[in-house]
Structure formats: structure tokens, C-alpha cells
Structure 1
Amino acid sequence: MTDQAGDEGGGSKSAPQRLTTRETAERLGVKPETVYAYVSRGQLSSNRAPGGRGSTFDATEVDALARRTGRREPCSPAGEPAVRTGITLIESDRYYFRGVDAAELALRYAYEEVAEWLWTGELRPGMRFAAPAEALAAARRTVGALPAHAGSTDRLRVAVVAAAAADPLRFDLSREAVLGGARSLIPTLVAALPTAGGDGGAEASAGALAPDAADGASGVGLARQLWPKLTAQPADEASLGVLDTALGLLIDHDLAASTLAARVAASARAHPYAVVSAGLGVLEGPLHGAASGLAHRMLAEVLERGGAAPVVADHLRAGRQVPGLGHRLYTGEDPRAAGLFALLAEIPGAAPALAAARDVVSTTARHAPLHANVDLALAVLSVSSGMDAEAGETVFAVSRTAGWIAHALEEYGERPLRMRPLGRYTGPRPPQPLPGATDSPPQ
């Protein structure tokens, strides 16, 4: 692997980005002629393009004008709303964080370092997050009050609320305040979860969560803090490396459903904890963060029945989609899955689950050209490591918290309440007669 990611992450200053007239018009949501009208009125400055053909415009100045003029967001070619973002690009079956290959970034750097790159565009080697004592105590007490059958996402949601209540300065939306809060919130969420194999309800409320000495501690990587929350199996370095890479790979994926919800909250100037709460609320859907649990159960059944054919057949017979396969943004294999499969192949204990996953892919390929997605790779990790079915959802939620914060920071710099689409009314046209009472009066 090259040193490109490290070089680009050094924080060096580059020349301001220049936009063509067409690109400027797209950002402003206007026609090219209107761009030159802005220039004539002194609202934009322009330079002649190299070769003297056309003009170029400073991207920062264009974005500032866009915020002032309050133009609407453009639409994608499919007619769906499009939101300008400089965080993640997905194209040609790859994805990039601020222009750097995201899969290579996650393979080379720890989760916290990838998060810092996503937030700031700077690489901070050795970065570690620590949970503040007051927020952690509040989160643990609140999580401990939940019933024993509560899921990990339930616990994460209430932990966010508790951490918010413990932070009287949560309404400070300045960049440094948001970043400081994010660096403490993520380890707080992890440390608030009960240790795998313990009683998450009564035991926690009694103060018997027995937090690991590394729980939320400065200097300890987040993957090492999260591992005992997912499984009672001891952590080896190779497996920790897979978990850390999974966290880095999942940090962001453009405007997924939960990220869009987070940006809507940030557009209304909700504080970062509320932004994360909005993301968690959407993440729990079976078509989003919870999808890995379906893949886990399927993979466990494949191992139990000795092959993928009968399991895949059951799904097809019932008209269900085979979990862990296909992704609307990739024509080939999900690059996140490819990265994790390569690491899992180096772990002997993961061999049976990895073979089962490949069996699922090859069996299904006889009927449909579908490739593995990241949910199937997470299922291999969770099944082979003795984790519960919801472990993948937990990894997804913890990791994506950093992405939601990145999008909140970006949205805080935009015009407030711009994420306000217009409804297309399809009901009866007014005026309609005032409805009369239809219920019989009480006797």
C-alpha cells in the first residue's frame, strides 16, 4: 500500500478549489447566466480559466453565496433530492473518505484515526478517545435501569440521552465543542454497554457491571474496549484487528437513511447528542443497521445444516431475500466486505464461517448475480467469535456515530432548515365540507 493516505492526512494547506461556471451554477442551483449576474453585482469574483476559455470561481466563496441566497438543493438524475457533501464519495465500486480510498484507510489506521480524518481532514496518529467520568456514570445508571431483555441499540439510545443530560454545554455548536463532545460520547456509549455474558439489567442496576480497567480509558483503542461487550471469548490481536477495521469501514457511507435523518436534525440545529439519537432511531430498521443480524442467523443455520443449499432454498421458497447479498450502490462485491473477508481469511477460527459465507454466495449465484455485502462479512466475524446476532448492529451503531457527527459538522455550516422538502399533496381538494359528528353521544 502506498503512503498516499498518510501524506494527504498531514494537514498541509493546498490551493483553494476552483470551480467551472457549470459547476458553480450547479452548486448555486441557478443557470450559468445567473452566475455572471452575481459577478456583475459584486457577489462573486472570477478568474479567467487557463487558456483564456471561460472563468473559474473560488469554491469557498460560492458555498458562502449559496448559504446566503438560500437556494434549494439540486436533484439527482433519478429525481431524488441531492445534498452537497465533501465527506464520502461512492463511485466505480469503491468509496472514498475526503478523496482517500476508505478501505485502504481503514486497513491502515485505527478507528479513532479514521474518525479524525473524517471530521477534520487531518490525520492524528495514535489518537484515542476517553469517556468523562460524569457522563459515563450517568449512562451506566440509565442503561442499568433497562430490562434484561433490552437490545444493544436500546442501551445505546438511552446512553446517548444520559450523556446529553450530563453535558450542560451540549447546545454549543461550535466546531471545537462538537468535536470534543464526539471524542467523549463514543467511548461513553461503548463503556455503558454490559460485558458480554453478564446480566444487562439487574446486574447493571446493582452496579455490578464489572467494567474492565480499560473501559472508556484514555490510551486504549476503541476496538479493544468494545470487544468484551460483544463476546466472552478472549480477544486475540488478529480478531481485534478485524473489529477495528470493521469500525473504520463502517464510519460513513454517504447519505444512508440514518445519516439523512442525522442531517435533518442538524439542519434544525439540534445538538450533536440529538443528532446521534436521530441516527440511532433509523439505524434499528431491519433494512439498515439490523440487517447484519439476519445474515448472522442465516450463517449459523448454514453451519448447523452443513451447507447453504437448503437454507438458501428456504429463503427463496418463502419469497425472502437472502441476507448479506447485494447492494444498490455496488455492481460487484461491497468493498467493505472484501476488506473484511481478506482479514478473516488469516484467522483459523473464522474458516468455517467464512466457508459458509462463500457457500451462500456461490449457491445464490446460480439464481441471481448477487455479491456479498458488509452484513455478510460482519456475520462471519460475529458467528466465528461467539457473538450474539445483534453484535453486527452494535458495531455498526458505534462506528456510524462518528459519521453522523461528521455530517452534523458539515450541516451546521449550511443554511438552517434547508433540509425541508415540499410535500406533494394528494388528498381531496379544498374546500371540503366541515365533517359532522358520527359517533353517538355518551349515555
Structure 2
Amino acid sequence: MTTAQAAEALGVRPSTVYAYVSRGVLGRVSEVVEGRRVSFFDRAEVLGLAAERARSRAGVVSTLIESDVTSLDPRGRLLLRGHDIGDLAGQGFEQAAALVWQDDSVPWPPVHPDWRRAAEQVAVAGAADPRDRLVLALTLAGAADEHREDLGREHVLTVARGAIQLAPAVVGVAGGDAPNRPTRGGVAPGAPVAEQPGRVAGELWRALAGRTAGPAEFAAIETALVVLMDHELAASTLAVRIAASTRADPWSCLLAGLAVLRGSRHGGAGIRAAVLLREWMERGGLVGPPAAGFGHAVYEQTDPRAELLLERVAALSPEGAAAVESLSTEVLRRHGAWPNVDLALAALTVAGGLDDRAPAVIFAVARMVGWTAHMLEEQPHGLRYRPRAVAGG
């Protein structure tokens, strides 16, 4: 089958057919026809994939959605809007977000004062967990948005910038609030939300560490924010797209993503990886397969995000990098699993003396960029997610 025939059979664009090839979903052969190279696809394989897309299977949800935001190569390459993540990691977080959003608004404007004042009410709730404070702040800010139902591109981006800039002020923790983080006079829970004069990375470091970031620390957390911005159709991203398909407002879409991140198998994996890394550094033993920080559903070996972030951690803490290396070697030898970005986030948390829940917070703030891009991409399609149920065994 030609590319056009394969695209028609699958109900996607030709560019998506090639994306399936890059992800290892489809095979392809090339032949020279009348002086030009033409791609051909195995008919049975294409039709089998088309049937797979249409068939419900007990216990499995197989979802293929066209998207131009991110491209993953199982061999260890990640592209955002066609740009290699290694190239983007050298840019500022706001600049990289603008590329993902295909928007030129840098620097970002300040948060709307009504949203800022509403978010200050987080202090009244007294929530200790920074993830809870972030959810509360976005809920309150959304309630104060008089244009909440505006689904236009400019308003969606304004909400995204506002939510991301509010995050550092509302997730700060007091020095004694995190048992494994050194007391450094951190930001008190629910502190008033002031204007953020610095870049998001620096403000987030101050919130999670209780001190101003040095050059190596700033580079490390900014790299983490950039490499985590989007990763195709992760569970939280799919939740955001489902919410967007119902014409939910942008605040609600972001909250849908945050709700899914609360799970230990997604946004909380970095927290569990930090526990594993600390135990390894203290005792040097490994009991059973690691609960988090290793292996990936897509990458066959190396997670490129982990490599980039671990390079920054090595500059921040050679001792921490050595511990990660020895742990990774042992896990690979015993269980054949390669480190993923959750281990890198854990390494950043331990090396930087951050709050225990820092991996989940950094993940959430970064991923709001990708969620927003997917939100904008999904809205024109309308309601299209309606899986069918089958009888359980």
C-alpha cells in the first residue's frame, strides 16, 4: 500500500503514518519509482492496525490520536514540535514553552490581580501537601476568572501562563514541613502570592528548597522543567484532552491533569524513586525490582530526558551522580531495566535538598505546558471519546 492508501485505511493524515513508522508501530519499505523514492506499507499490517484501533479488548484501552506536539522514538529520541529535546534543554523554560505553544509572548505578562488575590486564600485552607495547595490555588483562581468560559486561544494561553506563575508561590513549604529536607527557612505554606519577578525555574527552586538557586541549581531545575513539558499521550495528557473535548474551560482542563498526576504510578513515581535512591545511598542494598525510576512503556533502553537531567545533577552533586550510576548499574544487571526521568527527578531532589514531594510538583508545573498545547489541539474535534465496556471475567 502507498502512503496515501495507508493513511486512508487508518483514517489519519500521511504525516501520522510516518509518525507510526518512527514509533515502531508500522514497518515501511522504500522503492525508487520513476526516479523518486516512494514508501510502501504491508497491507496486512496496516489493516491489522486499523482493526486494532476499532476493537475493544477487555482490560486494555488502545488509543491512537493524531498530534503534532510530541514525537517519541522507542530507540531513545524525543521531539517537541519537531525539535530535539536536547536542543530545547539549553533554552529557558518560558522560551521552550513558547515554542510548544507556537506563541511569541516572551517574557510572560504578570498574573491577573484577581487570580492572584484568589490564590492567596490557599493560606486559609491550611493544606500541608504542596500538590493540594496547587490544586486549591487553581480552583480559586479559576473561580475568579470572569472570562472562564472563553475557550479562545489567547485566553487559554493566558490561563496557562497564570497557572504556571502562581505555582511557585503556593507550593512553598516551611523548613520543618518535609522530613528529609534540610531546614533552610523555606517559604511558609500558603504564603501570600506576590508578583514573581524572576523566571519560573528560579522561583520554583526557591519555593522547594527555601533558598535562591545557584547557577548549577538553576540550570538543573530549568532543564527538568523543559524536558518534562510534554511526553505524548501520558495518562494525565489524555485526561486533559478528554476534558477539552467536552468544551471544559482551561482551568478545569488543567485540574483534570493534576488529578491524574496525584497517582503514584504517574506524577508520584519520582517521589517513590527518591525513597529508593536515599535507601541505596544509606545502605547500598537493593531488595527486589525497583518500584519506580526504571523502565519505560515506550523507550527500549535510554530515556533521553533522564540523560539530560542527570548531566545537570552531576554538575550539582558528583556524589549524587555516582550513587545514581551505581544504582543504575545494579538494576540493569539484575533486572535489565534502564533509568527513566523519575530517577533523574529523584536525583535532583536528593542532591538539591528539595522537599520530598518536589518531583511531583516539578512534573506538574512543567506538564502544564504540554497539557495546554494538547488542549488547544483537541478543542476543534469536539466530543469524540466514548469507549465501550465489555463484560468482565
TM > 0.5 fold call? yes
User: d(CA) in 1 for partners of 2:364 and 2:306?
Assistant: 17
Q: 2:390 aligns with which of 409, 420, 424?
A: 424
Conserved 8 A contact 1:324-1:374: yes
Aligned positions of 1:168-183 closer than 5 A:
168-183=146-161
Q: 2:71 aligns with which of 89, 102, 113?
A: 89
User: d(CA) in 2 for partners of 1:96 and 1:280?
Assistant: 23
Residue 324 in structure 1 maps to residue 307 in structure 2:
no
Q: 1:237: Cα distance to partner?
A: 1.2
Note closer, same or farther for the CA distance 1:227–1:75 as it changes in structure 2 (3 Å cut).
farther
Determine the structure 1 residue equivalent to 2:309: 340
Note closer, same or farther for the CA distance 1:397–1:79 as it changes in structure 2 (3 Å cut).
closer
Paired letter, 1:101: D
Residue 165 in structure 1 maps to residue 111 in structure 2:
no
Determine the structure 2 residue equivalent to 1:373: 340
Q: 1:28: Cα distance to partner?
A: 5.3
Determine the structure 2 residue equivalent to 1:441: none
Q: 1:267: Cα distance to partner?
A: 0.7
User: d(CA) in 2 for partners of 1:274 and 1:80?
Assistant: 25
Determine the structure 1 residue equivalent to 2:119: 139
Note closer, same or farther for the CA distance 1:123–1:21 as it changes in structure 2 (3 Å cut).
farther
Conserved 8 A contact 2:290-2:331: no
Q: 1:252: Cα distance to partner?
A: 0.5
User: d(CA) in 2 for partners of 1:261 and 1:196?
Assistant: 32
Residue 395 in structure 1 maps to residue 378 in structure 2:
no
User: d(CA) in 2 for partners of 1:388 and 1:21?
Assistant: 53
Determine the structure 2 residue equivalent to 1:299: 277
Determine the structure 1 residue equivalent to 2:208: 230
Conserved 8 A contact 1:136-1:188: yes
Aligned positions of 1:142-221 closer than 5 A:
143-148=122-127, 150-197=128-175, 209=191, 216-217=195-196, 220-221=198-199
CA offsets per residue over residues 178-226 of structure 1, 9 Å max, x none? 11221222102222223552779x9656xxx266xxx5435x2110111
Q: 1:271: Cα distance to partner?
A: 0.6
Note closer, same or farther for the CA distance 1:199–1:364 as it changes in structure 2 (3 Å cut).
closer
CA offsets per residue over residues 363-413 of structure 1, 9 Å max, x none? 122212111111111111111111122101100011111111111100102
Aligned to 2:321, the other structure's residue is in SS state: helix
Q: 1:295: Cα distance to partner?
A: 1.1
Paired letter, 1:227: W
CA offsets per residue over residues 51-98 of structure 1, 9 Å max, x none? 699x9xxxxxxxxxxxxxxxx99469x981211111111013111111
Determine the structure 1 residue equivalent to 2:93: 111
Determine the structure 2 residue equivalent to 1:407: 374
CA offsets per residue over residues 153-179 of structure 1, 9 Å max, x none? 111111110110110101111112211
CA offsets per residue over residues 30-49 of structure 1, 9 Å max, x none? xxxxxxxxxxxxxxxxxxxx
User: d(CA) in 2 for partners of 1:365 and 1:300?
Assistant: 18
Note closer, same or farther for the CA distance 1:129–1:90 as it changes in structure 2 (3 Å cut).
farther
In structure 1, the gaps of 5 or more residues are 1-18, 30-49, 56-71, 428-443
Q: 1:100 aligns with which of 83, 104, 115?
A: 83
Task: Name which structure has the greater RCO, CA cutoff 8 Å, separation 6+.
Answer: 2
In structure 2, the gaps of 5 or more residues are 14-32, 39-50, 179-186
Aligned to 1:108, the other structure's residue is in SS state: coil
Note closer, same or farther for the CA distance 1:73–1:386 as it changes in structure 2 (3 Å cut).
same
TM-score (norm 1): 0.72
TM-score (norm 2): 0.81
Aligned to 1:258, the other structure's residue is in SS state: helix
Q: 1:286 aligns with which of 249, 260, 264?
A: 264
Determine the structure 2 residue equivalent to 1:37: none
Number of aligned residue pairs: give it: 350
Note closer, same or farther for the CA distance 1:366–1:139 as it changes in structure 2 (3 Å cut).
same
Q: 1:270: Cα distance to partner?
A: 0.5
Q: 1:99: Cα distance to partner?
A: 1.3
Aligned positions of 1:11-22 closer than 5 A:
20-22=4-6
Aligned to 1:413, the other structure's residue is in SS state: helix
User: d(CA) in 1 for partners of 2:277 and 2:236?
Assistant: 26
Determine the structure 2 residue equivalent to 1:34: none
Q: 1:357: Cα distance to partner?
A: 1.1
Paired letter, 1:332: Q
Conserved 8 A contact 1:170-1:273: yes
CA offsets per residue over residues 78-125 of structure 1, 9 Å max, x none? 9812111111110131111111112321x22111111111112x566x
Conserved 8 A contact 1:75-1:82: no
Conserved 8 A contact 2:76-2:300: yes
Conserved 8 A contact 1:118-1:403: yes
Structure with greater Cα Rg: 1
Identity among equivalent positions (%) equals 36
